[in-house]
Amino acid sequence: MSQAQPQSKKALTLLGIETSCDETAAAVVRRHADGSGDILSNQILSQVEDHAPYGGVVPELAARAHIRHLDGLVRGALSDANLTFDDIDGIAVTSGPGLIGGVIVGLLEAKGMALAAQCPLIAVNHLEGHALTARLTDGISFPYLLLLVSGGHSQLLLVEGLGRYEKLGGTIDDAVGEAFDKTAKLMGLGFPGGPALEQTAKSGDATRYTLPHPMKGREGYDLSFSGLKTAVRTHLVKELAANGHLSDQVKADMAAAFQETVGNVLANRIGKAMEHVKDRLGATPQLVVAGGVAANQALRARLNTLTEELGYTLIVPPPKLCTDNAVMIAWAGAERLHAGQQDPLNTAPRARWPLADLTL
């Protein structure tokens, strides 16, 4: 249970730790009393090469890598910031959702450091880290509409304040990131699949293949990508039967068609939600796109067109802060510590932790 304390009136310097998947990360962020923030350091160690031979993240390998590297990254983050633990006001750590082995590694490390340094522990929801990043990078205020596309998560939420997230819709099967990775795997594009598919699509003809637009025109704001992935597989099987292999041009055209279709589906579903909640967002409505898929430039361009059409401002954090990182965890921790929250040392890790369940 979080412990509420009086709201802080001073600048807060937070060490953040992120180990929920296959990035080991540590960062130091300062939140000023006026709500602005500075990134003092940002250390990330990717495990892509470790997992590439398996075509996906192997949880046990990821947890072992976190154990090997986390201490060094924490030291590096403090050194880059020219600080010691005496200068830290709190330690924020991803406590879920994520691969439970990795979450445990980071949480145990953070608990030990918080106990030794006698400073508050803030257990951060990984998704809230993504949700709040734009408040650090762009200084935006509540409320705003959020498209959260991170890993296995695809959600549309109305963000009304810290700990106040109203879920409008989400995926009923594959998330956007999963659909990119699985489609890339079908075409043998390697791991991680999302960036590889985006690169391949640049030389492709998106009109060569006709793909379905799941959920388009239906009530509500839910998303679905499983049927789209199946349609891609059907086309690829026909190409293999006809030619015995998938040529580079086939892969490029399919990647382009898939990417364009995903953009159209997102625009359709998000556009409905944007119209529905616009009156609740004030005079300057904002759509924030957060999570790893937000780094896809083609999808950004499609959503930029959509927001211009509907009178919104599109806000997307820099690519390095869209993928998993500890800056977002430190910032979310700073926001919560400013609001008076800290967590006990018996806080448990969580493999599942819906964002809509959060409170302050």
Looking at the structure, tell me whether residues 10 and 113 fall in a common domain. yes
Give the model confidence (pLDDT) of 314-349 as tens digits: 999 999 999 999 999 999 999 999 999 999 999 999
Confidence grade of residue 3 (pLDDT, cut at 50, 70, 90): low
- Alpha-carbon distances, residue 253 vs 193, 200, 257 (angstroms): 16, 8, 6
Looking at the structure, tell me whether residues 199 and 119 fall in a common domain. no
Q: Rounded to whole angstroms, how far apart are CA atoms 110 and 90?
A: 10
- Which domain does 30 fall in, by range? 3-134+323-357
Looking at the structure, tell me whether residues 293 and 344 fall in a common domain. no
- Residue 220, pLDDT > 80, answer yes
Q: What was the pLDDT predicted at 233?
A: 96
Confidence grade of residue 2 (pLDDT, cut at 50, 70, 90): low
Looking at the structure, tell me whether residues 223 and 262 fall in a common domain. yes
Give the model confidence (pLDDT) of 75-95 as tens digits: 999 999 999 999 999 999 999
3-state secondary structure 225-250: CHHHHHHHHHHHHHHHHHHCCCCHHH
Looking at the structure, tell me whether residues 53 and 146 fall in a common domain. no
Residue pair 221/169 in contact (Cβ under 8 Å)? The answer is yes
Q: Where are the beta strands (DSSP E) in 194-349?
A: 286-290, 313-315, 341-342
Looking at the structure, tell me whether residues 209 and 333 fall in a common domain. no
Looking at the structure, tell me whether residues 125 and 29 fall in a common domain. yes
Looking at the structure, tell me whether residues 148 and 128 fall in a common domain. no
Q: What was the pLDDT predicted at 6?
A: 55
- Residue 255, pLDDT > 70, answer yes
Give the model confidence (pLDDT) of 225-254 as tens digits: 999 999 999 999 999 999 999 999 999 999
Mean pLDDT computed over 119-123:
98
Indicate which CATH number applies to the domain containing 352: 3.30.420.40
Looking at the structure, tell me whether residues 150 and 288 fall in a common domain. yes
The pTM (predicted TM-score) of the whole model is 0.93
Query: What pairing do the DSSP bridges indicate for beta strands 90-96 and 12-18?
Result: parallel
Q: Where are the beta strands (DSSP E) in the chain?
A: 3-4, 12-18, 23-31, 37-46, 90-96, 121-125, 144-150, 153-161, 164-170, 286-290, 313-315, 341-342
User: What is the domain count for the chain?
Assistant: 2
- Residue 1, pLDDT > 50, answer no
Q: In the block, which residue shows the tokens 């408040």?
A: 135
Residue pair 287/278 in contact (Cβ under 8 Å)? The answer is no
Confidence grade of residue 306 (pLDDT, cut at 50, 70, 90): very high
Looking at the structure, tell me whether residues 65 and 112 fall in a common domain. yes
Looking at the structure, tell me whether residues 121 and 166 fall in a common domain. no
Mean pLDDT computed over 119-131:
97
Q: Rounded to whole angstroms, how far apart are CA atoms 228 and 215?
A: 11
Confidence grade of residue 7 (pLDDT, cut at 50, 70, 90): low
- Alpha-carbon distances, residue 311 vs 282, 304, 308 (angstroms): 12, 11, 5
Mean pLDDT computed over 158-183:
94
Q: What was the pLDDT predicted at 49?
A: 85
- Residue 274, pLDDT > 90, answer yes
Looking at the structure, tell me whether residues 158 and 275 fall in a common domain. yes
Mean pLDDT computed over 287-315:
94
In sequence order, what are the residues at sequence separation of 6 or more whose Cβ sits closer than 8 angstroms to the Cβ of residue 322? Answer: 130, 133, 290, 291, 292, 293, 294, 295, 316
